[in-house]
Amino acid sequence: MPFLRLTTAASLITAFVTVSTVQAQTIFTYGNKPVTRNEFLKAYNKNNTGEQPTDKSYREYLELYTRFKIKVQAALDMKLDTLPTQLAELNSFRNQVVENYMNDETSVNLLVDEAMERSRKDIHLAHIFVAARENATAGELKQASDKIDEAMAALQRGEDFGQTALRYSEDPAVKNNQGDLGYITALVLPYDLETLVYSLAPGKTGKIRSKIGFHIFKNLGERKAIGRIRTAQILLGIPPDANPAQKAALSQKADSIYQALLKGSDFKALAAQFSSDNISYQAGGEMKEFGVGSYEPAFEATAFALEKDGDISKPVLTEFGYHIIKRLQRMPVPDGTDAKQWRDQIKNQVEQSDRMQVARNILYKKILQLTGFKKIAVNEKELDPYTDSILLQKRLPKMTLTENTPLFSFTKQTMRVKDWRSYLESMLRLANTRSRPHKQLMDEFIERSAFDYYRTHLEEYNADFAYQLHEFKEGNLLFEIMQRKIWEVAATDSIGLQKYFQAHKNNYWWEASADAIIFTASNEAAATDARQKLQAGASQWKKMVDASNGTLQADSGRFELGQIPVLERTSFTPGLTNANVKNETDNTVSFAYIVQVHREREPRNFADARGFVINDYQVTLENKWIGELKKKYPIVINEAVVKGLPK
């Protein structure tokens, strides 16, 4: 049987190599539980950010991490993870973070890369539009399709684009711009339209249907992207019913304002006085940062033609009125040195745009594969009338289908006719549900079910999400078992605390100290007011705090001198109110009133030392417990892996 012997030998070799690889990647074991090198490094790097790793830092963290793991294992053995509070907190945390993982980051990054590349080029664009509603009838759709085809045929015969646009386009702006949209850049148009536009070579024309109708686009020319700009404007709006005399008067007024600006008048003041732009006039005419494709071509061309910050344009006429534009800041398309910040801006725009639907569609296809989606054959001749009866709220027809008839399935879940019914009933509140095709409704039901299943089982498909849940669960278990085994015991074991204090009295001393009241005020004014009131009588300090409406807090007691907030070395004497100290973290202001000074070192009594005793007693209890746990879960360190950790 040489073949069988060879196969067995090969299997043994493969198994040995696999086991050896696993062992090589195990940094330590506790009991029979392994911890991998990657898990340890992930935890180490998260808790030691910014520090250069050394053998010493690794060893110190290894001690902490082994102690952590055996404590958590003890909690698991006690089945603390099954406590209702633990389960509820884990589920609450899961619900908080799960949506952060419901995007396909890879596809989003591809869309960001694409948008960045497109943003480096501006396209001079012409446009013809014919409306066709998304739910247009067949007749309406054919009429719109024929019209756009006629326009396309005219262009292909060589007819002028502007004249063709005037004849066919239903864009309201065509009368003024003859289809010329000026320059556009990425993230201005809907994604499907932008994709067509950026596929056109200069001089070329393309046609596309969108949700609102049919479009013809022509690339009239290209240039290197000119970036973005911040401007302010003074707008003299022209009323829709203005006559020629009124328009001429507005033109003269705009020119007068322009001349006043040239002579040094304040732009902000004139914008506040004269501008009819209701959004910007209160901010001195300042507008939001914009790029090409945001406003009328004439406005944009004038703004981008201003040579330097502070330059002011002559009045420019658009359909809205006369604009006087001031350049505030010009931002060119960033080069490599600013690419990170620019990428973040582009990503934010992508995440707020219709591109996320593209990313969602990519993720949906992945989800169908990951979750083992299978469509189950069903009698459509019975399912269609059943669906109609639900949508029209009529009696169900007689059929062989039952509520439990399967429609499609995922790895661990089957969706049945009863689920389809529940979905349809939930959709009835939407006005157009009854008129939509059954196939469209079923496709949406499958998509929603797939996303719901993926969300519910996400830890099976996303390692980062699973790690975050596991990390939270272990942290919660650590808190629970420390509370039970150490913290509550130390705080409530009065006899044990007294014994510990008596055995370690020499550890608890007062250094030079003072009986004092330490005040913390919410701001400098509140601190000053409190200091003045203290000078009138310190005995009323509690009433002063109570009457402060929360602007003043106080803590009285005995403090070592090093605990009292001071600006510089201070000679503490009874009755002293020391100088204000500003707390940079929250801008509060602290100072102290000194009641009595104790300059000599003195032993603390149990009451004074109790907080320190509890802390030390906790450490003692924990070390004793850790010793017991290490016997229960022996720790074995893989020194070869530790020595090979990256430095």
Better pLDDT: 536 or 148: 148
Q: Is 513 helix (H, G, I), strand (E, B) or coil?
A: strand
C-alpha closest to that of 606 among 536, 534, 507: 507
Token pair listed for 418 = 């009863």
Contact of 508 with 603, CB cutoff 8 Å? yes
CATH fold of 120-224, please?
Answer: Chitinase A; domain 3 (3.10.50)
Buried b (16+ CB within 10 A) or exposed e, 571-589: ebeeeebbebbeeeeeebb
> For position 7, what pLDDT does the model report?
36
Q: Given 3.10.50.40, 3.40.220.10, 3.40.50.300, 3.30.70.890, which CATH number is that of 228-332?
A: 3.10.50.40
Token pair listed for 234 = 């003074």
List residues bridging with 291 in a β-sheet. 228
**Is 8 a residue whose pLDDT tops 70?**
no
Contact of 197 with 184, CB cutoff 8 Å? yes
> For position 9, what pLDDT does the model report?
37
The arithmetic mean of pLDDT across residues 448-463, rounded, is 96
* Whole-angstrom distance, CA of residue 325 vs CA of residue 85: 62
C-alpha closest to that of 149 among 125, 118, 133, 128: 128
Q: Is 130 helix (H, G, I), strand (E, B) or coil?
A: strand
* Whole-angstrom distance, CA of residue 508 vs CA of residue 479: 28
List residues bridging with 560 in a β-sheet. 513
Only one residue has tokens 């003043």, namely: 552
> For position 281, what pLDDT does the model report?
87
The average confidence (pLDDT) of the chain is 91
For 465, the enclosing helix (H) or strand (E) is helix 463-482
Residue-wise pLDDT for 222-236, tens only, equals 999 999 999 999 999
Q: Residue 454: CB partners within 8 Å, gap ≥ 6? A: 102, 367, 370, 371, 461
**Is 322 a residue whose pLDDT tops 70?**
yes
pTM of the entire structure? 0.70
The arithmetic mean of pLDDT across residues 105-128, rounded, is 94
N-term to C-term CA, the chain: 52
**Is 17 a residue whose pLDDT tops 50?**
no
The arithmetic mean of pLDDT across residues 598-603, rounded, is 94
Residue-wise pLDDT for 606-620, tens only, equals 999 999 999 999 999
Q: How confident is the model at residue 1 (pLDDT cuts 50, 70, 90)?
A: very low
Token pair listed for 464 = 């980062």
> For position 49, what pLDDT does the model report?
74
Alpha-carbon torsion angle 554, 556, 559, 562, nearest 10 = 20
> For position 14, what pLDDT does the model report?
38
The arithmetic mean of pLDDT across residues 294-322, rounded, is 94
Q: In this predicted structure, which of 132-141, 244-253, 256-265, 491-500 has the lowest mean pLDDT?
A: 132-141
Q: Residue 46: CB partners within 8 Å, gap ≥ 6? A: none
Only one residue has tokens 């004497």, namely: 573
Q: How confident is the model at residue 136 (pLDDT cuts 50, 70, 90)?
A: confident
List residues bridging with 469 in a β-sheet. none
Q: In this predicted structure, which of 1-10, 52-61, 111-120 has the lowest mean pLDDT?
A: 1-10
Residue-wise pLDDT for 515-567, tens only, equals 999 999 999 999 988 988 888 788 889 999 998 999 999 999 999 999 999 88
Token pair listed for 470 = 């596991």
Dump the DSSP string for 306-318: --STT-BPPPEEE
The arithmetic mean of pLDDT across residues 115-123, rounded, is 94
> For position 570, what pLDDT does the model report?
78
Better pLDDT: 585 or 215: 215
The arithmetic mean of pLDDT across residues 384-392, rounded, is 93
Better pLDDT: 50 or 501: 501
> For position 13, what pLDDT does the model report?
33
Q: How confident is the model at residue 218 (pLDDT cuts 50, 70, 90)?
A: very high
Residue-wise pLDDT for 469-505, tens only, equals 999 999 999 999 999 999 999 999 999 999 999 999 9
Q: In this predicted structure, which of 207-216, 415-424, 426-435 has the lowest mean pLDDT?
A: 426-435
Q: How confident is the model at residue 23 (pLDDT cuts 50, 70, 90)?
A: very low
Largest CA distance in the chain: 109
Is 120-224's fold the same as 228-332's? Answer: yes
Where do the domains of the chain lie?
120-224, 228-332, 372-456, 509-603
Residue-wise pLDDT for 329-369, tens only, equals 999 988 765 678 888 989 999 999 999 999 999 999 999 99
Token pair listed for 510 = 């007062």
> For position 584, what pLDDT does the model report?
86
% the chain with pLDDT above 90: 80
**Is 309 a residue whose pLDDT tops 80?**
yes
* Whole-angstrom distance, CA of residue 71 vs CA of residue 48: 21
